[in-house]
Amino acid sequence: MSISIYRGTVVYAAERDKLAAFPGANILVEDGFVKNVLKNLPEELAELPVQDYGNALIIPAFSDLHIHASQYAQRGIGMDKLLFDWLMDYTFPQETKFADLSYAKMVYDTLVADLIRHGTFHASIFTTIHYEASDYLFEKLAERGLYAYTGVVNMDCNSPEYLCETTENSLRNTERFLREHQGARTVQPILTPRFAPTCSETLIQGLGKLAKKYACGVQTHLVESIAEAAWTKDLFPGYRCEAAIYEQAGLLEYGPSVFAHVIFPTGEDIEILKKTKSISVHCPDATANIIAGIMPADALGKRELPIALGTDIGAGPGTAVYRQVSRAVQLSKLKAFFQPEGNGQLSFARAFYMATKEGGSIFDRVGSLEPGYRFNALVLDGLEDDFSPLTPEEKLERFCYGGDDRNIVARYLDGKLINP
């Protein structure tokens, strides 16, 4: 048994709209898990060394539940396009490069280091249709001990020829990926149909069979734009809503089910997401950039849907989930202003909760610093001016709005100090 003690201002969100802050606290970590947060150390621990971070904040590491690893190479480019043009002009041509493993290695190595640099230790990640590159990313994430779901992307129709698989190959590739990445590790395989328009009904039904055989979850994009939702309706006329396509194929039974965007859900979509305990992922930067839609995050929250945050790189420009926290608040205000019916503003605490505990809920005990959680944590400093002291909550808010990786002075994963 190993016990470590860290001193600082511990801040986390155990509940939706509330930050818990403990200034001058000692956080006790036993074998990588938080044991307790104490103001004063009991006598039997008084002899142990303490890593003292002074006035710095100690917060949970972030969860990014929607990111395209391959699109790291195109982040911040083509941002004046809308979804379909952006896919055709930038994204699809870029993704073909991942047939070349040496290119993929460079991109994925850089991405993984960048995730760690910005404090993202838990993520749900799309790759591309390419097996070897996806396998490399899986092993890289596992080697660094990050908590992740990732899988090869499926697309067998309505895609450019150079990125379109046959249904059989797509299913074969996917089954191989599931088979060869089983076992209890921090990284788990997940089914990744790109989105309904690029997947045939036969493919989705085949994936449903694999979900059952390997008891695995699914990640995809759901009702992300008006054009996408309308196209999906045309392509899948027999379904009562978009979520039903996945539900009826048996894809939402083994969990987690991770749906990016969910900007234009019908009442039936919401019922299915609720019933299947699916998690929706709000990607504020990405939707402002290429979709021009805003998730009704407050309204969905009122319906008790869990909502996480995502960067959606490359539609989002960078790996900083903390910046998505501030963007989520900003966009909720715009939504509430321009569409006041049913849409309220998100509190800062809520957005931080989405980026930490809610997003962490698809993994094992990550995303908070309550007792029993893994000590996956960041130490933040340099957030206050000498002439104007801030409360712990204010420092955290300043970090999310204007801070960057230079404010992250230490990173702990499973209780161990790590570097990018």
64 binds ligand GUN (CB under 6 A): no
Judged by CB under 6 A, the residue of 61, 315, 396, 413 near ligand GUN is 315
CA dist 182 to 186, 216, 313, Å? 11, 10, 27
Does position 163 bind ligand GUN by CB under 6 A?
no
- Closer to ligand GUN at the Cβ: 251 or 286? 286
Sole window of 20-28, 117-125, 305-313, 322-330 interacting with Fe ion (rule: CB under 5 A): 305-313
> How far apart are CB 195 and ligand GUN at their closest, in Å?
4
Pattern of binders to ligand GUN over 88-107, x per CB under 6 A? ---x----------------
> Element (H or E) spanning 393, and its range?
helix 392-402
Minimum distance from residue 331 beta carbon to ligand GUN (Å): 15
Give min distance, CB of 414 to ligand GUN, in A. 31
267-279: b or e for each residue (b if 16 or more CB lie within 10 Å)?
A: eebbbbbeebebb
In whole angstroms, the minimum distance from the beta carbon of 96 to Fe ion comes to 17
Question: How many residues line the site for Fe ion (CB under 5 A)?
Answer: 1
Least separation in angstroms between CB 307 and Fe ion: 16
Pairing of strands 416-417, 153-154: unpaired
Applying CB under 6 A, among 122, 130, 194, 350 the residue interacting with ligand GUN is: 194
Which residues in the 331-390 window bind ligand GUN by CB under 6 A?
Answer: none
Report yes or no: 120 and 377 within 8 Å, Cβ to Cβ: no
Q: How far is the CB of 15 from ligand GUN (least distance, A)?
A: 30
Q: Could you give the string, one character per residue 310-349, with x where binding to Fe ion holds by CB under 5 A and - elsewhere?
A: --x-------------------------------------
Q: Which residues contact 353 (CB under 8 A, 6 or more apart)?
A: 13, 15, 16, 17
Residues numbered 276-305 forming contacts with ligand GUN, rule: CB under 6 A: 286
Q: Phi first, then psi: what are they for 2, rounded to 5°?
A: -125, 130
Residue 195 is a binding residue for ligand GUN (CB under 6 A): yes
Does 224 bind ligand GUN (CB under 6 A)? Our answer is yes
CB 221 within 8 A of CB 194: yes
Helix/strand/coil for 185: coil
**Residue 158 burial by Cβ neighbours in a 10 Å radius (0-12, 13-18, 19+):** middle
Smallest distance from ligand GUN to CB 198, Å = 7
- β-bridge partners, 68: 126
From the CB of 300, what's the least distance to ligand GUN, in Å? 18
Q: Where are the alpha helices (DSSP H) in 215-320?
A: 226-235, 242-248, 267-275, 284-286, 297-302
64 binds Fe ion (CB under 5 A): no
Choose among Fe ion, ligand GUN, none what residue 91 binds, the Cβ cut-off being 5 to 8 Å by kind. ligand GUN
Question: Applying CB under 6 A, does 405 fall inside the site for ligand GUN?
Answer: no
Q: What are phi and psi of 231, to 5 degrees?
A: -65, -45
Least distance to ligand GUN from the beta carbon of 65, Å?
13
Q: What phi and psi, each to the nearest 5 degrees, are found at residue 189?
A: -75, 150
Q: Does 259 bind ligand GUN (CB under 6 A)?
A: no
DSSP H or E run through 355: none
Q: Which phi and psi angles does 105 have, rounded to 5°?
A: -60, -45
When the beta carbons of 194 and 357 are compared against ligand GUN, the nearer one is 194
Angle in degrees, CA 306, 312, 315, rounded to 5: 140
Shortest Å, Cβ 286 to ligand GUN:
5
Cβ-based neighbour number of residue 390 at 10 Å: 14
- Residue 247 binding ligand GUN, by CB under 6 A: no
Number of residues that bind ligand GUN (CB under 6 A): 10
Radius of gyration of the chain (CA): 21
What beta strand segments (E) does 18-127 contain?
18-30, 33-38, 50-60, 62-68, 120-126
Binding flag, residue 68, ligand GUN (CB under 6 A): yes
Pick from 122, 221, 357, 395: which binds ligand GUN (CB under 6 A)? 221
Residues that bind ligand GUN (CB under 6 A): 68, 87, 91, 194-195, 221, 224, 286, 312, 315
Residues that bind Fe ion (CB under 5 A): 312
